[in-house]
Amino acid sequence: MVKKPTAWIAVCILCLQFSVSVGLAQKSNRTEKVLISTPQPYDRVIAGIKSLGGKVTQQYTYVDGLAAEIPLESMAAVRSLVGPNSITKDKDVPHPIAASMTLGRKVHGQQVGPVQRAKAKGLKPIPADTMPSFSSSHSGAYILNTDGVDLQRLHSQGYTGKGIIVAVLDSGVRPGFLSLESDKSVIGGIDFVGDGQGFSNIDNEPHGTFVASMISGKAELDLSGDPTLLNAISNYAPSAIYNGSSVALIGSAPAAKIYVVRVFGTVSEVGTNESTILAAIQHVIDKRKLYDQGRPGGLKIDVCNLSLGNTTLEAGRDLLDKSVDALLAAGIIPVVSAGNSGPATLTTSSPASSFSSLTVGAANFARNDRIANDVMFGEGLGAFVRPTRDTQIAYFSSRGPNADGRPEPHVVASGFSNIGQGYFTTSDVSMASGTSFAAPIVSGVAAILRQAFPRASATEIRNAIIDSADGKAIGNGATVLDEGNGLVNAKDAFDLLESGHVSDKLPRFDNPTHDVQKNVEKGTDLKVVTGTVKQSLDKLKPGQRKDILYLVKDKTDQITITLDNVKPALPPDQQNAFFGDDLLFFVHSAKTSAIHEVGDYLTGGFSTGGTFIIKDPEPGILRISVSADWTNAGTISADLKATSSQDPLGKSTFDGAVADSQLIVIPFTVPSKVGVAEFRLSWDEDWSRYPTNDVDLILIDPLGNPIFDAQTLNDPERATIKNPTPGTWLLVIDGFDLPAGTDHYKVTVTLDN
């Protein structure tokens, strides 16, 4: 029988709410960083926040919103001031990092880091004004990072991005790298980090420099001093070498200029806040507006590269996504990396989930993979580690759809073992993977198309790139949720724009329902299943992925997944010489969109079969993702079975209704000699719903100490306390962000003696 708060508890709640709020603030001295959606002008709201002890840290011009820091005791009053469903957390945005090229695998006992290094004996500039003639005579320069993008013909005609400015929101740049400095590609920038480093500093984190080099880099490298990379390229891309030992690094828009917007600091483990990204996007639009108005300080920024991403509870409709809509509306093409949270579906990041973004996933070209393997593990091993030649989708590339049913990504570009500069020293060559490094290739394509068609709108250029992508370039059975329309093709986009048959409108989508399952099944060919599920996975090509979308109902105790009858098509002596042929098996939680940098995977890795137990899964649509290993030599088949069991008790200690902005306080007595107390909060509008509600649980022990362990994006929220202080604890249910308006919560307290 479910116990509900009795009348005396209800009275206590009314009496305690104010004192608890004050106590929380006094004990923790804590404020909450929030984003507030509210219409302009902001004067009344700003004055109200100030009177309540808070402060507004950002005012946004192109989206209706503010960033603020609010004392905990004032949160309810601020919510009353701005209205329901207006406040969200100013979430942390993870620092973008390179993805693993091996997923932790070892060859000959060697395990390597995510970025590989090779030495260049010497570097020479390739002047931007010589690019047309250079590209005409050096076709091999285009097969390392931009194979299939068909850039050479446009570059040879003089479409190299000349006169176009690309804003790069990232970790700043590191000066001294010839690929960027041969013609002073970086024309300026701004620092939003505030650590004194500035937008250009040798100590800046390298990610942004590598991204910029993918756009406007141009340098000739003499690799004769370190034969490792030279021999690897000779083995798998011999046409890229000229003059015996030279290789050219050519960005997709080598004559474009870079405007640097630094939003990430020097430590890759530390990210930034969404409010900072919003301020940076506003700055980019401001610069363009000043230019359009003919005022001092303006810059004609035509493209904005955002190789970054974050979790969203409301894909396409939160302030970060709307800020990307504002970029496009201002005439700036927003190119956004899809994220590195694959291979499961429903893992696209924000603002890639914006209605206006040009979202880019990562392709894996065999040539680059093999070159990197030679560098990592030894000359000649690349073709053994990656035996097939087909172009695949990188295992880590985030997949659609969004929770509202819209498919993602739009296109893909090379994002596996790309070769550039930015990491290590200024004389080094770097190899790195990630959708972060696929997006700038597409940003460069947008730049050269802007140069070629100055009268085309930003939306037309965006749509032309998407509509002209090559859906046949990926050879591993990829679907629209893996590759979108396919590999970006600059020449085909050029031809489409020249034909005049490109829409100046964004695609229209039906309004989503409140049910993620209905949205997904309406917007894609996916089907959500539950109960006992059996599925045969037949003849998966290397890199090919199949997902089972499994509906986890409330009170599910565990899910048992069995992967068996794993059968490679080839005999053992014809399979991958190092690893055999196997599968990648991942189970992603019910959380939708990108979570952290690499997704919220409950288990995952290489597999030849087995039984996997998922305890206490979050309610919603769990994803069971099975891929043929990208290093397989042949196809592979397997059988999968999933079953679930329910909690036989399924009891809650307390339950009730909670509204957006409401704070509910429930006293609970913990007796003496309790070894462990577990507090569990769940609610109905979980990750199976769009948008998702964010309800938090704050505990206050008998001494008045607040515990914030259950203030996360998890559902249910859990806090486990060892040797809890006996006495009256307060359970604070915080309806922090409830787009649905209200919700029904359940709290279970388990005491273990």
Q: Do domains 7-90+651-752 and 118-499 have the same CATH topology?
A: no
pLDDT of residue 10: 36
Top CATH class, 527-646: mainly beta
Residue located via tokens 């409830």: 738
The whole-number mean pLDDT for each consecutive block of 10 residues of the chain, a chain of 753 residues, reads 34 43 53 93 97 96 97 87 88 94 83 84 89 93 94 97 98 94 92 95 96 96 89 96 94 97 88 97 98 97 97 93 98 98 97 98 97 92 95 97 96 97 92 97 98 98 98 92 97 98 95 96 94 96 97 91 98 96 98 92 95 94 98 98 82 85 91 93 92 93 93 91 95 87 91 84
CATH of 118-499, one of 3.40.50.200, 3.40.50.150, 3.40.1410.10, 3.20.20.150: 3.40.50.200
- Degrees, nearest 5: CA angle 700-705-708: 65
pLDDT of residue 531: 94
Top CATH class, 7-90+651-752: mainly beta
Residue located via tokens 């359940």: 746
Tokens of 411: 């296109």
pLDDT of residue 107: 77
pTM to 2 decimal places: 0.94
600, amino acid identity: D
Q: Strands, E, within 372-474: which ranges?
A: 392-393, 411-414, 418-420, 428-432
User: What does the alpha-carbon distance between residue 462 and residue 451 come to, in Å, rounded to a whole number?
Assistant: 14
Residue 224 CA neighbour count, 13 Å, CB half: 9
pLDDT of residue 8: 35
pLDDT of residue 696: 94
pLDDT of residue 6: 36
User: What does the alpha-carbon distance between residue 241 and residue 223 come to, in Å, rounded to a whole number?
Assistant: 10
- Degrees, nearest 5: CA angle 637-639-644: 150
Q: Strands, E, within 499-597: which ranges?
A: 528-529, 533-540, 545-552, 556-568, 583-588
CB 431 within 8 A of CB 118: yes
CB 375 within 8 A of CB 229: yes
The domain ranges of the chain are 7-90+651-752, 118-499, 527-646
Q: How many helices (H) and strands (E) would you count in the chain?
A: 17, 38
